[in-house]
């Protein structure tokens, strides 16, 4: 191969590698905020210690905005909270089903610890359909109860990967 042909071949290979799609390890990393409303039932298991089970539902707002992974997707998150106000401790866990406007779904599990009203933990993608079929990864999140309504429901938000 002549030097000119070799140089042209090397340039074409370098250009092809530069333009080829690259698989990103964090393509399933949702950086943003999930605003939610929690509805369920709480039982007082002892004075100042409650066990709540129900569902958090709302919308995810991705930091990158329109057209980004799960931006404006709906979430339904069945879960539980073990809230010990007397000891200042909380544990929580459950699942989140994410559904976008195209009808594709993504399911993740989550668990967290902290204080009543403020928890931190991880969520992991466990399955998906359509464009989310290959989703995987474990990421950090924080959750905060912002308003305790008089009827036992709560409003709050969770920040993911911040």
Spell out where the chain has E strands: 32-46, 49-62, 74-84, 89-99, 105-115, 118-128, 138-148, 154-160
Instruction: Report pLDDT digits (tens) over 86-110.
Output: 999 999 999 999 999 999 999 999 9
**With bands split at pLDDT 50, 70 and 90, how would you rate the model's confidence at 152?**
confident
Residue with tokens 């809230």: 83
C-alpha distances out from residue 84 to 72, 88, 103, Å: 33, 6, 38
| pLDDT on residue 27 | 84
Let me know if residue 25 belongs to a domain. Answer: no
Let me know if residue 103 belongs to a domain. Answer: yes
CATH of the domain at 91: 2.40.350.10
Given a cut of 80, whether residue 9 has pLDDT beyond it is no
Among 34-38, 66-70, 88-92, where is mean pLDDT lowest? Answer: 66-70
| pLDDT on residue 5 | 47
| pLDDT on residue 123 | 95
In 10 A of CB 91, how many CB atoms?
16
Mean pLDDT of the chain: 87
Let me know if residue 21 belongs to a domain. Answer: no
Q: Residue 151 is part of which domain span?
A: 30-160
Let me know if residue 1 belongs to a domain. Answer: no
Per the structure, how many domains does the chain have?
A: 1
């Amino acid at each position: 191969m002549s030097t000119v042909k070799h140089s042209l071949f090397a340039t074409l290979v370098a250009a092809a590698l530069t333009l080829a799609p690259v698989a990103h390890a964090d393509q399933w990393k949702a950086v943003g905020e999930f605003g939610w409303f929690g509805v369920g039932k709480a039982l007082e298991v002892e004075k100042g210690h409650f066990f709540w089970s129900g569902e958090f539902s709302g919308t995810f707002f991705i930091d990158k905005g329109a057209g980004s992974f799960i931006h404006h997707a709906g979430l339904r998150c069945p879960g539980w909270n073990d809230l010990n106000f007397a000891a200042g401790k909380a544990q929580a866990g459950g699942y989140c089903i994410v559904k976008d406007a195209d009808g594709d779904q993504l399911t993740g599990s989550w668990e967290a610890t902290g204080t009543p009203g403020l928890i931190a933990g991880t969520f992991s993608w466990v399955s998906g359909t359509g464009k989310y079929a290959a989703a995987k990864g474990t990421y950090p999140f924080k959750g905060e109860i912002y308003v305790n309504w008089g009827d036992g429901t709560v409003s709050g938000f969770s920040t993911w990967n911040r």
